[in-house]
Amino acid sequence: MIAQNLTFVPCAAMLHTAVLLISCPDQKGLVAAIADFLLRHDANILHADQHQDAELKLFLMRVEWDLHGFNLNLDEFSSAFRPIAERFGMTWRLAESSRKPRLAVFVSKFDHCLADLLYRYQSGELHCELPIIVSNHEDTRWLAEAYHIPYQFLAMNKEDKHETESTQLAILRDQKIDFIVLARYMQVLSPEFIRHFPHRIINIHHSFLPAFHGAKPYHRAFERGVKLIGATAHYVTETLDDGPIIEQDVARMSHRDSLGDLINKGADLEKVVLSRAVKWHLDNRVLVYANKTVVFD
């Protein structure tokens, strides 16, 4: 048998699509109005999913269509869609699959989440550009170099945290970064920093929030003798570990498990949960409202 070189091509790259995410007060005629608008412009709808929040009386929707044959230029979409959006009081955004968002990863000493993200990025699973890794330690530089990703070390001290964050923001602007992933970045971002990236910073917290928020959650979970441990990926807000949750998962614990066992099992959860959240964000499947999320299938 003759060996052949095979290149992994992610399915998302095979289609040129647009995604529309909508939230608005729930009312009659919403789906019909959106479908009719797309039909009038010859859209071939590939996926459509919706959710009604009965308590808040909100309608939320994700619709994706093939841009082949779509007769409305996306630069003109906003003005064409505005009458419908205003009629129903919609908050909406449009994304195009051919555009790769630019991601910056922030990391400290632990490398497991970074390693998983880098592998998925190199394999083509994560549809993005990764032009920079930022760290307050040198421990993970070797991993960045292995994947040929530029690595920026910036020491973080309490005395000059504001200046360091200003430097970080300057780097992010220079690299035209769209969103940030905190891959076990063990620093609390300032409210001023967070305001530059609203709902565009994803963090992995090593517990099943809202349990054991803050520092050393594994140690506190071990002290309580928990039977389940978890990991939570969420958008960062100004309130620590309180942002909209994107994904969570759990693993069972036994009385025979040591603190080290708990930490090792948790690390496996962290990297999978974080990578799922990042992929769903990149695929424009996450809609934030009322400090929570809908993650569309």
Q: Find the CATH number of the domain harbouring 42.
A: 3.30.70.260
How confident is the model over 197-248, as pLDDT tens digits? 999 999 999 888 888 888 888 898 889 999 999 999 999 999 988 999 999 9
Looking at the fold, whether 258 and 149 belong to one and the same domain comes out as yes
Q: Is the domain of 55 the same as that of 200? A: no
Q: Please provide the average confidence, as pLDDT, over all residues in the chain.
A: 93
Of 102-116, 209-223, 235-249, 283-297, the one with minimum mean pLDDT is 209-223
What is the CB-side half-sphere exposure of residue 27 using CA atoms within 13 A?
13
Please state the pTM of the whole predicted model.
Answer: 0.91
By CB atoms closer than 10 A (0-12, 13-18, 19+), residue 78 is: exposed
pLDDT for res 9: 42
Out of 45, 77, 96, a domain closes at: 96
Asked if 276 and 293 count as a contact pair (C-beta separation under 8 A), the reply is no
Mean pLDDT of 254-280: 94
SS3 17: strand
Catalytic residue numbers read: 241
130 and 268 within one domain: yes
Segments forming the whole domain that contains residue 207: 102-295
Could you tell me if 84 and 111 lie in one domain? no
Task: Look up tokens 């891959």; give the residue.
Answer: 183
**Weakest mean pLDDT among 3-17, 79-93, 122-136, 160-174:** 3-17
Predicted confidence (pLDDT) per residue in 185-211, tens digit: 999 999 999 999 999 999 999 888 888
Strands 201-205 and 228-235: what pairing?
antiparallel
Instruction: Determine the pLDDT at residue 10.
Output: 45
Whether residues 153 and 69 share a domain: the answer is no
Which CA distances in Å does 211 have to 193, 220, 271?
Answer: 26, 10, 19
Of the candidate ranges 4-18, 183-197, 244-258, the one whose mean pLDDT is the lowest = 4-18
**One domain, residues 231 and 174:** yes
Residue 61 has pLDDT above 80, yes or no: yes
Average the pLDDT over 1-29 and give the result: 70
More confident residue, 5 or 212: 212
In the structure encoding, which two tokens stand for residue 72, read together?
Answer: 């409305």
Q: What pLDDT, on the 0 to 100 scale, is given for residue 3?
A: 40
Confidence at residue 214, expressed as pLDDT on a 0 to 100 scale: 82
Which of 71, 96, 121 corresponds to the end of one domain?
A: 96
Of 53, 72, 96, the one marking the end of a domain is 96
Domain count along the chain: 2
Site of tokens 């789906």: 31
3-state secondary structure of 198: coil
User: Within this chain, do residues 221 and 268 fall inside the same structural domain, yes or no?
Assistant: yes
pLDDT, tens digit, for every residue of 134-188? Answer: 999 999 999 999 999 999 999 999 889 999 999 999 999 999 999 999 999 999 9
- Phi, psi angles (nearest 5°) of residue 165: -65, -35
